[in-house]
Amino acid sequence: MKGIIFDLDGVLLSTDQLHYEAWKKIADKLGVPFDKKINDRLRGVSREASLEIVLEKYNGYLSKAEKEDLCNEKNEYYKELLHTLDEDTIDPKVRETLAFLKNKGFRLAVGSSSKNTMTILHRTGLEDYFDAISDGNNISKSKPDPEVFLKAAEYIFLKPEECFVVEDAEAGIDAAVAGGFCPIGIGLAAEYSKTRFPIKDITQLKDIVFLKI
Ligand code: B16
Ligand code: MG
């Protein structure tokens, strides 16, 4: 194995609370129930697909333009919340693990559904660890489609079978499997049946990446 593709939200840092707060404002405005359990279903899912989940209990009709406005409004709230991120947001174990893997010669990439990926990497000072970034801005199909990971592998000049994908979402593990990558699951994805290597802590990557697959 020569490369490791990292999901962003839920793997390198936890922005789920920020997504939650932003979607909650939209849900409250529409009068639909929204809680942490529903928020967990939004992991790895695109903004537009997330809105459809938020709207599951909405009784009225919304046009395409109104849905687009709601997505934009959610993103404006979310971007405000991103201002709270800085280098201290990142668990030191994440930095230490990325530095170790880079030193060992692995090519590292990000594969995230988020269109805010560059802002997040920049604010947290993580961007220099990565050889390539594939995110919500360069794909036409979101996870569980493998496109975001296939592009990441292409950007680091590797084949899918030469790369691990580290994910926290079932949709992301499905995408990794569909693309022919070796899926490593953390958080909720560690419990998922399609995950090849479940981990509790990101530092466990230091051992797993040397296994012969
Ligand atoms: P944005 P990941 C995903 O990031 C999040 O998990 C998901 O909750 C979010 O809806 C999606 O990005 C799109 O984010 O609205 O910022 O474009 O887990 O794929 O890194
Ligand atoms: Mg994620």
**What CATH number has the domain bearing residue 48?**
1.10.150.240
Same domain, 182 and 112: yes
Residues 95 and 200 in one domain: yes
Looking at 50, 84, 118, the residue that finishes a domain is 84
Q: Tell me the pLDDT band of 114, cut-offs 50, 70 and 90.
A: very high
Does 181 score more than 90 pLDDT? yes
pLDDT band (50, 70, 90) for residue 90: very high
Task: Determine the average pLDDT of the residues in 159-170.
Answer: 97
**Measured in angstroms, how far is the CA atom of residue 212 from the centroid of ligand 1?**
31
Q: Which of 5, 19, 34, 138 to mutate to test the pocket of ligand 1 (most atoms within 8 A of CB)?
A: 19
Write out the DSSP string of the chain.
Answer: --EEEE-SBTTTB--HHHHHHHHHHHHHHHT----HHHHHTTTT--HHHHHHHHGGG--S---HHHHHHHHHHHHHHHHHHHTT--GGGS-HHHHHHHHHHHHTT-EEEEE-S-TTHHHHHHHHT-GGG-SEEE-TTS-SS-TTSTHHHHHHHHHTT--GGGEEEEESSHHHHHHHHHHT-EEEEEGGGGG-TT-SEEESSGGGHHHHTTS--
pTM of the model: 0.95
Across the range 25-52, mean pLDDT stands at: 95
CATH of the domain at 186: 3.40.50.1000
In a domain, 213, yes or no: no
Q: Is residue 40 part of a domain?
A: yes
Task: Judge if 68 and 24 occupy the same domain.
Answer: yes
**Pocket lined around ligand 1, Cβ cut-off 6 Å:** 7-10, 19, 42-47, 50, 75, 112-116, 136, 169
Catalytic residue ranges: 7, 9
30 located within any domain: yes
What is the span of the domain harbouring residue 64? Answer: 16-84
